[in-house]
Structure 1
């Protein structure tokens, strides 16, 4: 299933983007594509970032979208925002459950997504709302 999402217009500001996904596994690689376009706009706007930033941002976004796909029914929203010295990557979904931050375990197979996200990001916060939650991760530019 191809996710339906709103692409930003060519003249959209470089500092934020919002994409709505209907669902389905295709939204995971699509989220990486959205991040790639966002980071390209940041670079064009002269934002200084580490050489590894794009790869880290793509990984964080795809892990958060994967969790939304696995643990929440229905659509999700990906919001990317330039904030001070980083980018906030936020995924909102309609699931009632909260993410489980598990301790590192090299013997565990799978369920390492949030472990990866917390190692890459300065801050990871879950905010509940009336019909679900938003998980936000702040990834430093350098």
Structure 2
């Protein structure tokens, strides 16, 4: 699964499926969403993993929000990795800015800057850590819908 002009790899190692791409500019946010969509389609077709439209939409939303923040706040390239482990997909974005994200105080009059709030609301897990260069943000999305209605994504959709 290679997007033209991008360094993409996909591998099956110890039952962990992953895809990674390095992007150079903010104009590639749509390409990052396309990578996520292709990755999930491959899970369905090649690996027989049933995914609902809601799960696909939530993964693309989180990819879009994390990549947009990387483009907005960090100079230089950023890297997106999608990895399936234990019934969930970890969405990881590395960028060169070492400043960790901070949620803002709730303000109904604020326009914009809600990306991190959205990611936290729909994710099963979230981690942000500094790296020797930059930072790495990981959000975890369950690949199965919670039939009891307790899935974090149900709170926002």
Alignment partners' CA distance in 2, 1:102 and 1:39: 31
- RMSD value, Cα: 1.8
The equivalent of 1:111 in structure 2 is: 113
Which one of the candidate residues 134, 137, 142 is aligned to 1:135? 137
Alignment gaps of 5+ in structure 1 = none
Unaligned runs of 5+ in 2: 146-157
The equivalent position to 2:64 in structure 1, one of 62, 65, 81, is: 62
2-side partners of 1:49 and 1:102: how far apart? 32
TM-score, normalised via structure 2 length: 0.81
Secondary structure of the equivalent of 2:31?
helix
| Pairing partner for 1:51 from 50, 53, 56 | 53
Normalization by structure 1: what TM-score?
0.89
How many correspondences in the alignment?
137
Name the CA distance, whole Å, in 2 between partners of 1:51 and 1:32: 14
Matched, 1:32 2:33: yes
Higher Rg of the two aligned structures: 2
SS of structure 2 residue aligned to 1:29: helix
Task: Give the 3 Å change call, closer, same or farther, for CA 81–35 of structure 1 in structure 2.
Answer: same
Q: Summarize the alignment of residues 73-92 of structure 1 with structure 2, pairs less than 5 Å apart.
A: 73-92=75-94
